[in-house]
Amino acid sequence: MERTLEMQLEESIHNPGITGVLCVDNNGLCLGAKGSAPLKACGSISALAGQAAKLANPNGPTPVICLESEHGIVLIKKTDKLTTALFKSS
């Protein structure tokens, strides 16, 4: 059940520099979040992953999207039907 997902989220937030993690389904529904992750951005994160995938070869791996600001980084990647966003402070 969703306990595995909870455990994986908990584990990923212990990586160095990670402040938050979000996972969103194809419809923009948040399936899980840990740390300081902006829940209202779920829809945009899912949409962004879909738009970036259109730049890639449809049969190849999905792209990694990286948003950088002065003090932080967001890493986004879609696997199957799930989009994951990692929030990292730099």
Residues contributing to the site for other proteins (CB under 8 A): 1-2, 4-5, 7-9, 11-12, 15, 21, 23, 25, 31-32, 36, 38, 41, 44-45, 47-48, 51-52, 54-57, 60-61, 63-89
- Which residue's CB is nearer to other proteins, number 27 or number 69? 69
Counting every residue written for the chain, the total comes to: 90
DSSP run (H or E) holding 87? strand 82-89
Question: Rounded to the nearest whole angstrom, what is the least distance from the CB of residue 67 to other proteins in the complex?
Answer: 5
Question: Rounded to the nearest whole angstrom, what is the least distance from the CB of residue 27 to other proteins in the complex?
Answer: 13
Alpha carbon distance 40, 30 (integer Å): 9
Alpha carbon distance 59, 66 (integer Å): 21
